[in-house]
């Protein structure tokens, strides 16, 4: 059963390299870090993004003008 709750006006995807995201997560300030900010946990998060979230982003890319990709350039 499909029920439409509302209308989607925009989808925003923040894009960065996996290498940069790994670095940022491992270098978080201890006050901001999570207890599971380990190399293994980060790799699992990146795999989950690739298998579960990226297909959704690609789906919305098919709707002209709906997806905006913000490329993150971090030092």
Predicted pLDDT of residue 75? 55
Per DSSP, helices labelled H in 1-75 are 18-26, 39-48, 54-61
Predicted pLDDT of residue 43? 92
pTM of the prediction? 0.68
What are the domain boundaries of the chain? 11-71
Residue 11 to residue 53: CA distance in whole angstroms: 12
User: Splitting the chain (75 residues) into consecutive groups of 10 residues, what average pLDDT does each group show?
Assistant: 81 89 82 79 92 92 88 71
Predicted pLDDT of residue 50? 93
């Amino acid at each position: 059963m499909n029920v439409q709750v509302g209308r989607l006006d925009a989808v925003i995807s923040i894009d960065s390299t996996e290498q940069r995201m790994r670095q940022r997560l491992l270098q978080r300030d201890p006050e901001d870090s999570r207890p599971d900010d380990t190399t293994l946990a980060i790799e699992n998060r990146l795999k989950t993004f690739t298998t579960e979230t990226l297909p959704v982003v690609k789906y919305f890319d098919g709707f002209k003008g709906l997806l905006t990709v913000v490329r993150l350039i971090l030092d």
